[in-house]
Amino acid sequence: MTVFPPDFIWGSATSAYQIEGAWNLEGKGESIWDRFSHTPGKVWRGHTGDVACDHYHRYRADVELMRDLGLQAYRFSISWPRVLPTGRGQVNPAGLDFYDRLVDTLLAANIKPWATLYHWDLPQALQDGGGWAQRDLCAHFADYAALVVQRLGDRVQDWMTFNEPWCTAFLGHDTGEHAPGLRDRRLALQVAHHVLLSHGLATQALRAVRGDLRVGIVLNLWPVEAVVDDDDVQAEVEPTWQRNCAWFLDPLYRAAYPSAALAAYGPLAPTVAANDLATIAQPLDLMGINYYHRIALGVEGPPPGAEVTEMGWEVYPQGLTHLLQRLHHEYRLPPLYITENGAAYVDTVTPAGRVPDARRLEYVRQHLHALHDAMAAGVDVRGYFVWSLLDNFEWAHGYGKRFGIVHVDFDTQVRTVKESGRWYSQVIGRGQVS
């Protein structure tokens, strides 16, 4: 039996575009994901987030569900174009009202709201002006952050500026798998820099509005491991870590880009102004880590024989322990939270209305053990948010990949708690994992 500390926070996570729907209702502006998903060929089977889980209309019932599960915290994101339809200037009061009601409903259910300001849905109007490639976006983001916190900061204490800057930069601007679907590595690196700078400016802006907030950022990180005995492969381990992980960690915690990676990028390296790195390296109150799998070098895809999820991702719980230990030894970090971890599997609802998702349950169970191992070794981790509360719009995979601990029938919007959800609820109640 593995016992977690009594004040450990148990939650689940979602994001606005993946669940809200109501993409063009009550004054919401268009986002880059609205545009991208409506562009033929970009998303599996042409799926869009137009309706998604219809959470915009069903949030009260969804919060009830969270209460029934015993969640202590709920990590959601705010849609920038719902609040500011063109990204700046004119405010959409109905948008702010929605998040206001959501927060009040959560608090009434005794669930702590954890808000992410940017989970990938940039206002399309700002993209039309050049998007994250433009340095002036940083100031617009800080203004948006201040606006939201003026409204919600009296009730929301925990704030995350960005979710996974790596994905915004590289999936959005290098591989083109995500909105806005561009393919230009030089641009991707400049975008990464502007996102980091926006994080620094927004952190300052949030604190200027209120001094009592807890502010942080969420990074997706992978341990990098060679899985073949080959010196050339081994030699790639550190550069891969530097390009993918240290590229974000070092500016945040050391006010510098990792020098070897910077040199290797040569002319692709971003333009960085004099005080940018000092602005980026704001002291933080928390850091969120999203962990799904490791980067295994020396093979194409997952190592042969590895267990994989529906995403094709290797199930590798010990990678979470390795990752946390490395971070702990190399950086001076604020308290850590696992802000996402979970797995996509094919689910079926039985005639009796059950969803027996033993593999997802096992995935979460093993990762909680791995997390506990890291904590036992001295890593300061204070909470865990399973991804995701609901099956939802899984970006370029549309509704084809289900990560929820609650099943959603996208025809009827009926929610059914999966076995993993029932089990997670017991974990929360007992504070321990068998």
Binding site for ligand FCB (CB under 6 A): 15, 18, 163-164, 167, 220, 290, 340, 387, 394-395, 403
Dihedral sign, Cα of residue 35, residue 40, residue 41, residue 47: positive
Shortest distance (Å) from residue 229 CB to ligand FCB: 31
Closer residue to ligand FCB in complex, CB, 164/276: 164
Q: Which is nearer to ligand FCB, 373 or 391 (CB)?
A: 391
Catalogue the active-site residues.
Answer: 164, 340
CB 247 within 8 A of CB 258: yes
Report the C-alpha gap between 272 and 291 in whole angstroms: 29
CA–CA–CA angle 239, 243, 244 (5° rounding)? 120
Residue bearing tokens 């409506």: 38
Q: Is 390 helix (H, G, I), strand (E, B) or coil?
A: strand
Q: Which is nearer to ligand FCB, 10 or 387 (CB)?
A: 387
Task: For the CB of residue 7, give the shortest distance to ligand FCB in the complex, in Å.
Answer: 26
Cis ω for the linkage preceding 251 (within 30 of 0): no
129: its two tokens: 């002006």
Q: How far is the CB of 111 from ligand FCB (least distance, A)?
A: 20
Pick between residue 103 and residue 289 the one whose CB is nearest to ligand FCB. Answer: 289
Contacts of 298 (CB under 8 A, 6+ apart): 226, 227, 228, 230, 233
> Which run of H or E residues covers position 199?
helix 185-209
Output the smallest distance, CB 293 to ligand FCB, in A: 11
CA atoms within 13 A on the CB side of 431: 8
What is the SS3 string spanning 58-121?
HHHHHHHHHHHHCCCEEEEECCHHHHCCCCCCCCCHHHHHHHHHHHHHHHHCCCEEEEEEECCC
Structure tokens of 364?
């979460």
CB of 276 to ligand FCB, least distance (A): 25
What count of other Cβ atoms lies within 10 Å of the Cβ of residue 45? 8
Q: Dihedral, CA atoms, 130, 133, 135, 138, nearest 10 degrees? A: 90
Nearer to ligand FCB, 59 or 292 (CB): 292
Q: CB nearer to ligand FCB: give 4 or 345.
A: 345
**Cα–Cα distance for residue pair 235/250, rounded to 1 Å:** 21
- The pair phi, psi for residue 212, each rounded to 5°, is -105, 20
Between 92 and 341, name the residue whose CB sits nearer to ligand FCB: 341
- Residues forming a β-bridge with 13: 75, 387
Closest contact distance (angstroms) between CB of 116 and ligand FCB is: 9
CB 220 → ligand FCB: shortest distance, Å? 5
